[in-house]
Copies of this chain bind each other. A is one copy, B any other.
C-alpha cells in the first residue's frame, strides 16, 4: 500500500485545508463543527420549506410530548430566558400551531397544546428531518447514530450537575 497524498488526513477540518491538531479530542469543538452540519440538515429538510425556526420546531415537539405544559417549563427545558420563550410562543401561536388556554388552578399560567395543524406540521417535519439525517449522515451506521443520540443525551443530562455547581 503506497501512501495516498490526495486523501485528507483524518484530523482535517470538515471543510478541508486545515488540521485540527489538539482540537481533535475537545468535545466542545467537535460539537460546534457537527452542529454546522446538523443545522443545515434541518434547514434543507424542513426549515426552509415550512418557515419554521429550529426552536419553533422544538417547541412543537415538546408541547406535543407534554400537552398542557407551561411557558416557564419550556424556558427551563431549553435553557433560555422567559422573554425569549414568550417571543417564540407568540410566533407559533400566531401561525396557528399551538394554542394557549388559561389554567383553571393557577390563573397566572397558560396550558399549551398543539392545534390539529400543529400536529400535522410536527409530524411532517419530524419525518423529513429523520429522512434527511439518514441521507446526509450516511457515514454513520444506524447503530452509530443511535449511540450518538444516546451519548449526547447523557451529555445533556450532565446539566443538572452543572447547575448544582453554579448555585
Please judge, given known A-B contacts A15-B79, A18-B74, whether A31 and B34 are in contact too, CB under 8 Å: yes
Q: Is A129 within 8 A of B28, CB to CB? A: yes
User: Are the CB atoms of B30 and A65 closer together than 8 Å?
Assistant: no
**What is the interface size of chain A, counting residues whose CB is below 8 A from a CB of the partner?**
74
Q: Of B26, B39, B138, which contacts A129 at CB under 8 A?
A: B26
* Chain A interface mostly: helix
- Pick from B54, B64, B136: contact of A162, CB below 8 A: B136
A residues lining the B interface (CB < 8 Å): 13-42, 44, 54, 58, 61-62, 64-66, 69, 73-74, 76-77, 79, 126, 129-130, 133, 136-140, 144-149, 151-163, 165-166
